[in-house]
Amino acid sequence: MANETTKMGLIPVRKVGGQSWTGGQQKYRIASGATTAIFQGDLVTQLTAGTIGRHAASGTVPIVGVFNGCSYTDPTSGETVFSNSYPGSIAASDIVANVIDDPMVQFSIQSDEAFPVTDLFGNFDIVDSSPVGDTKTGTSNMQLDTSTGATTATLPLKAIDISQDPENSDVASAGTNVVVVIQNHIMGAKSAGLA
C-alpha cells in the first residue's frame, strides 16, 4: 500500500529506552533581522553570536535540535507574536525559539523515496524541498534523503526504526516514515553509521 506523502519535518515520538517524550524543550535566540525562515520540525544549528538558524541540506555544523515554534515582539504593532515558524527578516531583539534539544529524543521524518529496512542504522542527510515549509501552518517540508545513506559521522540523522504507523510504514513505497535520532548533535555526536 502506498504511503501518505505529507511532508512534516521532524516530529518527536519517544526517547531512547522506550521512555515517553514529555514535551521538554529549551529556549534559544534568533538574531534580529535573520533572513532565513525556520519552520516547526526543522533542524537548527549553532550560528555566531550565540544564536541559532535553520540547518540546510549538506550542512556539517553540529545540530542544536528541532525547532518547535517561536515568539517575538512584532516591530510594527508592538504585540507579542507566538508562531509555529519564524518568517525571516523580523527586526526584534527578543526573538526566542523553542527547540527540542535533548539528544536522546527520537523523531519521525518522512523519507523522500522508499526506505528499505537494510538502510537502518545508517546516517543520512536531509532534503530541502521547495518551498522549505508551509507558510500557512508553519510546518517544515524537510525530508530524509534516502540516497545519502553512509557511515559519515557529520550527517545529521541516524535511522533507527521504521514507523509503526500503518499509513506510512510501507518500505517499498516513497514516503516511508523513518524513526531517527540526531546523529551530529551539539551535545554529543553518535557513532559512525552502518550504511
DSSP for 91-158, written as a single string: --TT-EEEEE--TTEEEEEEBSS---GGGTT-EEEEE--SSSB-TTT-BB--EEEEEEEES-TTSSEE
Confidence of residue 190 (pLDDT cuts 50, 70, 90): low
**C-alpha dist (Å) from residue 167 to 65, 77, 129, 131, 176:** 27, 43, 22, 24, 9
Spatial distance between the Cα atoms of 193 and 191, rounded to a whole number of angstroms: 6
Residue 45 has pLDDT above 90, yes or no: yes
Q: What is the pLDDT of residues 69-103, one digit of tens each?
A: 999 999 999 999 999 999 999 999 999 999 999 99
Residue 191 is predicted with a pLDDT of: 60
Q: Give me the mean pLDDT over the 133-141 stretch.
A: 95
Give me 110's grid cell. Answer: 518522512
Q: Give me the mean pLDDT over the 54-77 stretch.
A: 95
Give me 88's grid cell. Answer: 525571516
Confidence of residue 173 (pLDDT cuts 50, 70, 90): confident
Residue 169 is predicted with a pLDDT of: 67
Rg from Cα positions in the chain? 16
Q: What pTM, to 2 d.p., does this model score?
A: 0.93
**Mean pLDDT rounded to a whole number for the chain:** 92
Give, as one character, the DSSP assignment of residue 51: B
Degrees (nearest 5) of the Cα angle 138, 143, 144? 150
Residue 174 has pLDDT above 90, yes or no: no
Spatial distance between the Cα atoms of 168 and 93, rounded to a whole number of angstroms: 41
Spatial distance between the Cα atoms of 103 and 99, rounded to a whole number of angstroms: 11
Spatial distance between the Cα atoms of 183 and 159, rounded to a whole number of angstroms: 9
Other Cβ atoms within 10 Å of 26 Cβ, number: 13
Residue 48 is predicted with a pLDDT of: 85
Q: Label residues 155-178 b or e (16+ Cβ within 10 Å = b).
A: bbbbbebbbeeeebbbbebbbbbb
Cis peptide before 131, with omega less than 30 degrees from 0?
Answer: yes
Residue 189 is predicted with a pLDDT of: 63
Q: Give me the mean pLDDT over the 1-10 stretch.
A: 78
Residue 175 is predicted with a pLDDT of: 86
Confidence of residue 166 (pLDDT cuts 50, 70, 90): confident
Residue 66 has pLDDT above 70, yes or no: yes
